[in-house]
Amino acid sequence: MFYELNDEQKAFRKRVREIYEREVSPLVEEYERKEAFPVQLYPILGAEHLLCLRCPKEYGGPGLDKISECITVEELNRICVGIGASVMVQGGLATDPILHFGSEELKQKYLSPAVRGEKIGAFALTEPDAGSDVSGIRTTAVKRGDTYRINGSKTFITNGTICDFVTVAAYTDPSKRGRGINLFVVERGDLGFSVIKKLKKLGNHSSDTAELAFDDCDVPKERMLGEQEGGGLSQLEGTLKSGRLTYGARSTGVGQAAFETTLSYIKRARRHGQPLSRSQAIRFMVAEMAMSMEAMRYMTYRGAWLFDQGVATMKDASIVKLFCSESVQSIVQKAMAIQKHAGLRADNPVQRFLRDGRLSKIPEGTSEIQHLVIAGGLGL
């Protein structure tokens, strides 16, 4: 049973934190204002082997485990959730399906450049009328000789405005609900593919998010993932299971940032002429924050350990995602309550943590969907 990081993993965390503090921290305020992702980060992180961490060495990746991936996600999201979102999609949703189900040609063409940060990937599943209900998507892919013609629209697509390729979910057989889905790789230059608009959001400002359109977009049949039509739902389930565990690390990262900022504020602030740290009410609140952080971190890395052992279920992943995304709500709300009016200042990162933390409940399946998955895993 996994309980504690070993010395090698602790050294890895230290190295990762130093890199992110050096390369990412100076960019946060500027790109939060711009509401854009600093694309210059991709080759930098690629050179540091911090993109697509579980990608095997044969494709240029470091070939690390899920625990190591969660370490990097926690540390990056501790600094900036928006930037973290774009990097997470690159190393997970956009490339995982290609790694596990793509042909050797597709792996060489997309994985290796993605690992180096030379190509940026996106993942297109969510639609205006379907998100957590994967089977409810309406995008279709109709075979026409040696190509598939894709028609439909996708929304809330991370990296949508900056991607070089996007992994798209579409029905090849709409009569087979869920089972008739396939995944395709669409390139930015493909005719019929377009970015409709960039979306403005409550949080995650430094993550580019877009609405995409596919209008008679023809892609070669070789860019379909898998050897036959159908089976895309099971491919998506594997990808989402990994992503939900990663989301535990994401929530843990923003929670840690809020906790550290609040603890620093408490130690230096005074209220009613007394050090704030002597207030029993404040001490109780920060103790609860610390307790939540310990529980979130344990849940996340236990889930990652189960994943590395090959025994993690979708229920396990949903428990991690639900617990951590809900727990971080309490942490950021306490952080704001402790700082009161100071937390509302635009130059105080606590307001950003509050906004970014709120979005943890929605992507990778809403909290409501996680409840249903867990209940289903219990036989209900």
Mean pLDDT across the stretch 287-310?
Answer: 96
Mean pLDDT across the stretch 305-328?
Answer: 95
Query: Which one of the listed residues 32, 127, 229, 364 is annotated catalytic?
Result: 364
Token representation of residue 49: 């082997």
Give residue 177's pLDDT: 83
Mean pLDDT across the stretch 22-38?
Answer: 95
3-class DSSP assignment, residue 202: coil
Give residue 176's pLDDT: 87
For 119-136, what is each residue's pLDDT tens digit?
999 999 999 887 667 888
C-alpha–C-alpha distance, residues 247 and 250, integer Å: 5
**What's the residue count for the chain?**
380
**Residue 181 in this model has a pLDDT that exceeds 70:** yes
Give the β-pairing of 181-187 and 224-225. Answer: antiparallel
Task: Give start and end residues of each alpha helix (H) in the chain.
Answer: 7-23, 28-34, 41-47, 66-79, 81-91, 96-101, 104-106, 112-116, 232-268, 280-308, 314-339, 349-358, 367-377
**Residue 255 in this model has a pLDDT that exceeds 90:** yes
Instruction: Output the CA angle 283-288-290, nearest 5 degrees.
Output: 95
Token representation of residue 283: 């001490």
Mean pLDDT across the stretch 350-375?
Answer: 90
**Residue 360 in this model has a pLDDT that exceeds 90:** no
For 205-252, what is each residue's pLDDT tens digit?
999 999 999 999 999 999 999 888 888 788 888 888 999 999 999 999
Give residue 2's pLDDT: 67
- What is the residue-wise DSSP string for 266-308? HHH-EETTEEGGG-HHHHHHHHHHHHHHHHHHHHHHHHHHHHH
Mean pLDDT across the stretch 255-277?
Answer: 91
For 56-73, what is each residue's pLDDT tens digit?
999 999 999 999 999 999
- The number of CA neighbours under 13 Å toward the Cβ of 4 is 2
User: pTM (2 decimals)?
Assistant: 0.92
Give residue 252's pLDDT: 97
Give residue 131's pLDDT: 66
Confidence band of 276 (pLDDT split at 50, 70, 90): confident
Please say whether the beta carbons of 297 and 77 come within 8 A. no
**Residue 303 in this model has a pLDDT that exceeds 70:** yes
Token representation of residue 41: 């980060």
**Residue 146 in this model has a pLDDT that exceeds 80:** yes
Percentage of residues in the chain having pLDDT higher than 70: 99
3-class DSSP assignment, residue 197: strand
**Residue 305 in this model has a pLDDT that exceeds 90:** yes
Scan for tokens 């943590």, then name that residue.
353
Confidence band of 347 (pLDDT split at 50, 70, 90): confident
Radius of gyration of the chain (CA): 21
Which residue segments constitute the domains of the chain, with CATH numbers given?
7-116 (1.10.540.10), 121-227 (2.40.110.10), 233-377 (1.20.140.10)
Give residue 251's pLDDT: 96
**Average pLDDT of every residue of the chain:** 93
**Residue 328 in this model has a pLDDT that exceeds 80:** yes
Confidence band of 269 (pLDDT split at 50, 70, 90): confident
Active site residue 69: no
238 Cβ neighbours under 8 A, 6+ residues apart: 96, 100
Confidence band of 1 (pLDDT split at 50, 70, 90): low
